[in-house]
Structure 1
Amino acid sequence: MGKNQGHTSSFQQLLRDAKLEAMAEFAAGAGHEINNPLATISGRVQLLLLNETDPQKRQSLKTIGGQVYRIRDMIGDAMLFGRPPQPVPEQLNMTDITADVQSRLQEQIEKSGCQIKLKCHPETPVWADPVQLSMVVSQLILNSLSASNQGGNILIECSPVIQQEQPFALFKVTDWGCGLTPEEAEHLFDPFYSGRQAGRGLGFGLSKCWQFVKLHGGEITFESKENQSTCFTVLLPAKEKCLLE
């Protein structure tokens, strides 16, 4: 039996949130500092290209320029994680958002060979920024596709629920793929952690999910059994002024 990696206790969540908030501050500050020398390097490369005629040297300069752009994109992700735009929430239906994202990801879903089952209440109100909410739903689905075996099954659920006597929207994505190792579970939302699986804990996808959900006054948790399954659960306010305490 795989070991269950459930991150649901309040104490664990407080520790995780404090660590991620500290990392967000570092990412935002470091991003500004790194961008300045990157701009200088990029400018010098462009100047050298203007006067360089040797094909081999031009190719080397273009390679340097390409890597500068790659670093700039990574820094952009870091800064977005560190200081994301404030959400502009509106009244939405979680079920409609889920169906729209699934439609946009249909090509990736078909290539994966996975079968997706939807179990969504037709009316699941949620108070959220449509762009940020779509990003969260998309990232969690893509994460499950990455972790699933060819032809695996993924279950997506959404329904209205009551938490602390307030209405919330519940969104869950479950896959029966490779699960998480204890180390991956510990660092899953860390923006700079690269784990065993390319789709899990790599880059800023799940980190941004955590940040966006937090900005909405919601909560994102997960449970995983190594080599068996992983389930992500997101709780978001169903209407304005609903907050988890």
Structure 2
Amino acid sequence: MDNRVLILAPRGRDASVIAQTLRDRTIHVCTDVADLEARVAEGAGAVIVTEEALGGQTLAGFATWLRDQPPWSDLPIIVLAAQRVGPRPAPAQQTLADLGNIVIFERPISAETLQRGVGSALRARGRQYVAREHLEERRQFAATLEQRIEERTADLARANLRLVREIEERERMQAVLVQSQKMEAVGQLTGGVAHDFNNLLTIIRSSVDFLRRDDIAASRRLRYVDAISQTVDRAAKLTAQLLAFARRQALVPVEFDVGAQVESVAELVRPLVGSRIEIEVQPAAIPCFTKADVSQFETALINLAVNGRDAMQGEGKLTFRIEAVVDVPSVRGHAGSTGDFVAITVSDCGCGIPAEQLPSIFEPFYTTKEVGKGTGLGLSQVFGFAKQSGGEITVLSETGKGTAFRLYLPRTSGRRTARIEPVVELARTTLPRAGLRVLVVEDNDAVGRFAVEMLADLGHSPTRAANAEEAFAYLGADANGFDAVFSDVMMPGIDGLTMARILRDRFRTLPVLLTSGYSHVVAQEGTHGFELLQKPYSVGALAERLEQVVQNSLSGASHWAKSATS
């Protein structure tokens, strides 16, 4: 029935001639329009109508049936028209338009042409039936999907629920999964970090033990003091790297030395990839700088390193190569770019990526790893970082020989490279201005007492408050003669950043210096214009930064006073 050819030719011998021509097909000659409508509802592969059947409103019901076809269906119609010189009357034109999927043959028409036209129409109809079957299979699959999900374990049901929510809120959940992936990598780094920190603590502990001895020479005492200071700097650097990697700091693009940063990342990933993987860094022939988010840069390289480790199954060679280039090739249908770029290539000698999978590897949630081995967001993070930074990411891979990812970033001059704060000499501990009244706000007793002692040794008059409420009480309505506030950020109740904003509203010229080892508030919101002294800090750093905020406050007060009187 589905391959029948319905013929509607109400005049003359047209119907019998068409039937005779198509005698090798399953045909049905309709007696009138009502018969056509009834037969087409039973199933048809094509319909042949003569132009004489299109007059008036006789085909209105058939046109309605065509308009209401299911989505998969578009019944082909062959119209046998009489030769004419001028255009068809408007009603006939409208009727043709209502019929939709039509082919018009002008008579007289050869038997071969008619047979070929009908054959093409039936083949097109056959493809529609295949589409119908596929749609029906999908419908049946969807109808049984819920039942099959219910038969799975409760964990899979919860996972499916999370997947539905991820589809509905894709943008929000992608950021959450990126963070989850980074924290998973941090967990894998725990062993290596513990090893490094224990080494640092060993140096500090041993140096302190020797400093407690009465018979130690002055030169050796100074050497142990220097060892403690340098070890603290190394520990602070390691902590900062971990916080940046976990995206727990305020993230802003800065200009940095790509070579030095790649070296740092290579050291960071050594415990992650394992001792059986050799890591090689090939520096560029010239210094290369870029301006980007350092945390995301590190995360991108770590993601690529982890992929290389997995591809090599924990044994092989991982290479970081840095080059200065003058263009970015055309890739994924986008035109290339010309200019100064730095290219960082991360290559491995692993299993490689099949060619048919390469176009999809940067898509979110796409992964070539086994189930449970990855979220499929690592390479999409690298792709997004490259694009947001004005760069590009390319990949070359050969099955069985390895993969090379090449990250392009705009190359800068390096003149505004982020400054690394130097270690302040212990001898430089005298402020140009002494005798400041400083309110120290610190909830930790040991740290608070030590900060008070340092400020007192620097020649100031410190007063300690344990929290923001006590600080407000000490300051009163007019700052009560205090020259500056030195406050921790992380405190119970009102945090230091919120307290500083309140103080800025109350006392326009009262300088506030914040300090923190880590704060999620600062990581999410920034410092809101306040100076931040990172823990651990030296006496010299505290002295310089306190002097700086006081001087800035005096300059700001003078400018404000001039503006108010002008």
Mark the runs of 5 or more structure 2 residues left unpaired by the alignment.
Answer: 1-152, 179-246, 328-336, 414-566
Query: Which has the larger displacement, 172-181 or 73-82?
Result: 73-82
What is the RMSD computed on CA atoms of the aligned residues? 3.6
C-alpha distance 212-232 of structure 1, shift in aligned 2 (>3 A): same
Higher relative contact order (Cα pairs below 8 Å, separated by 6+ residues): 1
Q: Secondary structure at the match of 2:366?
A: coil
1:165 deviates by 5.4
| Structure 1 residue 106 corresponds to structure 2 residue 279 | no
Alignment correspondent of 1:124: 288
Q: Relative to 1, partners in 2 of residues 1:200 and 1:147: Cα closer, same or farther, differing over 3 Å?
A: farther
Q: Tell me, what secondary structure is at the counterpart of 1:98?
A: helix
- Hey, what's the Cα distance between the residues in 2 that align with 1:212 and 1:178? 26
Match of 2:311 among 129, 134, 147: 147
Q: What do the CA deviations read for 1:192-237 (whole angstroms, capped 9, x no partner)?
A: 2232567998521100110110001101000111111111111100
- Asked if 1:186 corresponds to 2:349, the answer is no
Other structure's SS at 2:412 match: coil
Q: Secondary structure at the match of 1:135?
A: helix
Pick closer, same or farther for the CA change 1:162–1:194 going to 2, 3 Å.
closer
Distance 1:236 1:201, change over 3 A: farther
Report the CA distance between 1:170 and its aligned residue.
0.9
Instruction: Determine the C-alpha separation between the residues in 1 that align with 2:256 and 2:356.
Output: 36
Instruction: Establish whether residue 97 from structure 1 lines up as the match of residue 261 from structure 2.
Output: yes
After TM superposition, the runs of 4+ consecutive aligned structure 1 residues lying more than 3 A away are 66-77, 79-82, 196-202
Q: Alignment partner of 2:323: what SS?
A: strand
Of the structure 1 ranges 96-105 and 193-202, higher mean CA displacement relative to structure 2 is found in: 193-202
User: Is 1:156 aligned to 2:320, yes or no?
Assistant: yes
How high is the sequence identity, in percent, across the aligned residues? Answer: 25
| Larger gyration radius, structure 1 or structure 2 | 2
Report SS of the residue matched to 1:227. coil
What secondary structure is seen at the aligned counterpart in 2 of 1:206?
A: helix
Deviations, residues 60-107 of structure 1 (Å, cap 9, x unaligned): 99x79x86997689965524699xx9x732111111221222222221
Give the distance between the partners of 1:91 and 1:109, measured in 2 at CA: 28
Which ranges in structure 1 are unaligned for 5 or more consecutive residues? Answer: 1-59, 241-245
TM norm structure 1: 0.60
1:125–1:160: 8 Å Cα contact kept in structure 2? no
Q: Counterpart of 1:158 in structure 2: which amino acid? A: I
- Aligned partner of residue 105 in structure 1, secondary structure: helix
Amino acid at match of 1:221: T
Distance 2:410 2:374 in 1: 26
Query: Partner amino acid for 1:126?
Result: T
Give the whole-Å Cα distance in 2 for the aligned partners of 1:80 and 1:216.
Answer: 21
Query: Matches of residues 1-245 of structure 1 in structure 2 within 5 Å?
Result: 76-79=172-175, 88-111=252-275, 113-121=276-284, 123-163=287-327, 166-196=339-369, 202-239=375-412
Secondary structure of 1:138's aligned partner? helix
